[in-house]
């Protein structure tokens, strides 16, 4: 059974949750499990180069992100509470972070660790990153820190940390990390950590006995496995429903390359183009769909709306009228 942990490495509860999951698994006697870490960002607006936490707490944006992790508590109160819990879990009395650090690069290294060496190597890298941030109080957005961790794991070359200064956007695993972040969003992951197994989810750093009970439930749950292409299409549709058309297009890109003739892929892409105001692309895609299936009232209606937004009102009226004739709800 695969256990996915969707978490941010600057989230104290993620560090605590890791220890609690390990305790739950220490007495696990069910089927073999694989623990895989997936990226989630509690503070996506954090700067690529870290700032001291004392300074960050003066930033209202950072304050809002930190409060979202601890409803009803101030960031200072939450930090004290989490440090107390961390100490009780054996993470150390001096446990705590001192930086507001962007985590995209750390997530890339963690994702790459799994791709290169599987769950065991990824676990070692996650442990090093969490320890660097919370115990050694280092800046895990600093490439020197991450290069050291990557080198110790034998990943420096694979991660692109050797040679000239890296371009973060094109490094190995960068696209994978962006896709994983979008996949988590599409799946409805909304807090760090969230444990997912066999289609079931457990939010928060729950006690070991709660995690163990969850894993027993998950082991007895056998969801129908969908082809990877269908899952990707559904995730893209979920992002579009969440008003993230650019994210939807990111997940659709491989499907458009491999299944560019599929009508479902093309229609979803057209919707995403429309939602992201890429009207020429939307119109081109929809004109092709309508030409193939003139009785597709939805494609025709969306084509009419696209033409409206382009100021081509006479053409728009023709399509909108035909769509409303076929599906009266479109007349509203």
Same domain for 87 and 51: yes
Spatial distance between the Cα atoms of 83 and 70, rounded to a whole number of angstroms: 13
pLDDT, tens digit (0-9, with 9 covering 90-100), for 201-246: 999 999 999 999 999 999 998 888 889 999 999 999 999 999 999 9
Please tell me what DSSP assigns to residue 49: S
Same domain for 75 and 181: yes
CB 30 within 8 A of CB 215: yes
Same domain for 319 and 233: yes
Residue with tokens 């183009």: 273
Residue 47: pLDDT band by 50, 70, 90 thresholds?
Answer: confident
Same domain for 300 and 213: no
pTM of the model: 0.91
Same domain for 49 and 70: yes
Same domain for 259 and 201: no
- Residue 173: CATH number of its domain: 3.40.30.10
Which residues of the chain form beta strands (DSSP E)? Answer: 2-7, 34-39, 51-52, 99-100, 194-197, 200-203
CB 254 within 8 A of CB 232: yes
For residue 85, the Cα-to-chain-centroid distance in whole angstroms is 27
Same domain for 201 and 69: yes
CB 258 within 8 A of CB 248: no
Residue with tokens 């084509």: 303
Same domain for 167 and 42: yes
Average of per-residue pLDDT across 53-68: 66
Q: Considering the chain, what percentage of its residues have pLDDT values greater than 90?
A: 76
Residue 254 has pLDDT above 70, yes or no: yes
Residue 65: pLDDT band by 50, 70, 90 thresholds?
Answer: low
Cβ–Cβ contacts within 10 Å for residue 168, how many?
A: 13
Same domain for 272 and 215: no
Rounded to the nearest 10 degrees, what angle do helices 174-187 and 104-134 cross at?
Answer: 80
User: Omega of the bond prior to 193 within 30 degrees of 0, cis?
Assistant: yes
Cβ–Cβ contacts within 10 Å for residue 163, how many?
A: 7
Domain count across the chain:
2
pLDDT, tens digit (0-9, with 9 covering 90-100), for 92-135: 877 888 888 999 999 999 999 999 999 999 999 999 999 999 99
- Per DSSP, helices labelled H in 276-311 are 279-292, 297-309
Rg (C-alpha) for the chain, rounded Å, is 23
Q: Please state the φ and ψ torsions of residue 218, each to the nearest 5 degrees.
A: -65, -35
Residue 166: pLDDT band by 50, 70, 90 thresholds?
Answer: low
List the domain range (segments joined by +) for residue 17: 2-219
Same domain for 237 and 211: no
Nearest to 44 by CA among 177, 201, 187, 243: 177
* Highest mean pLDDT of the ranges 63-72, 74-83, 194-203: 194-203
Nearest to 46 by CA among 69, 18, 19, 77: 69
Same domain for 233 and 215: no
pLDDT, tens digit (0-9, with 9 covering 90-100), for 4-29: 999 999 999 999 999 999 999 999 99
- Residue 257: CATH number of its domain: 1.25.40.10
Mean pLDDT of the chain: 91
CB 143 within 8 A of CB 166: yes
43 Rama class: left (phi>0) / alpha (psi -120 to 50) / beta: beta
Same domain for 292 and 204: no
Average of per-residue pLDDT across 261-281: 98
Q: Using a CB cutoff of 8 Å and minimum separation of 24, what contacts does 145-152 make?
A: 146/105, 146/106, 146/109, 149/109, 149/125, 150/109, 150/125, 152/128
């Amino acid at each position: 059974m695969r256990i996915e942990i969707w978490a941010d490495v600057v989230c104290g509860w993620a560090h605590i949750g890791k220890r609690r999951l390990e305790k739950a698994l220490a007495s696990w006697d069910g089927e073999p499990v694989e623990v895989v870490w997936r990226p989630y960002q509690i503070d996506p607006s954090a700067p690529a180069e870290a700032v001291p936490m004392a300074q960050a707490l003066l930033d209202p944006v950072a304050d809002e992100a930190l409060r979202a992790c601890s409803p009803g508590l101030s960031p200072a109160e939450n930090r004290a509470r989490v440090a107390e819990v961390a100490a009780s879990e054996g993470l150390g009395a001096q446990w705590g972070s001192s930086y507001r650090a962007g985590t995209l690069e750390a997530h890339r290294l963690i994702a790459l660790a799994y791709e290169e060496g599987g769950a065991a190597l990824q676990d070692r890298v996650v442990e090093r990153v969490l320890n660097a941030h919370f115990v050694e109080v280092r800046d895990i957005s600093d490439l020197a820190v991450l290069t050291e961790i990557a080198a110790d794991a034998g990943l420096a070359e694979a991660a692109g940390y050797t040679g000239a200064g890296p371009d973060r956007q094109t490094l190995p695993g960068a696209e994978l990390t962006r896709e994983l972040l979008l996949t988590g969003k599409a799946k409805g992951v909304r807090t760090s950590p969230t444990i997912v197994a066999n289609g079931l989810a457990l939010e928060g750093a729950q006690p070991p006995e709660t995690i163990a009970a969850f894993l027993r439930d998950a082991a007895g749950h056998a969801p129908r496995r969908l082809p990877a292409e269908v899952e990707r299409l559904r995730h893209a549709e979920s992002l579009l429903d969440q008003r993230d058309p650019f994210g939807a297009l990111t997940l659709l890109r491989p499907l458009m390359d491999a299944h560019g003739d599929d009508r479902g892929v093309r229609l979803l892409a057209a919707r995403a183009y429309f939602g992201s105001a890429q009207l020429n692309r939307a119109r081109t895609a929809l004109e092709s769909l309508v030409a193939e299936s003139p009785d597709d009232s939805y494609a025709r209606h969306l084509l009419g709306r696209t033409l409206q937004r382009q100021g081509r009102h006479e053409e728009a009226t023709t399509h909108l009228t035909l769509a409303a004739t076929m599906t009266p709800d479109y007349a509203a």
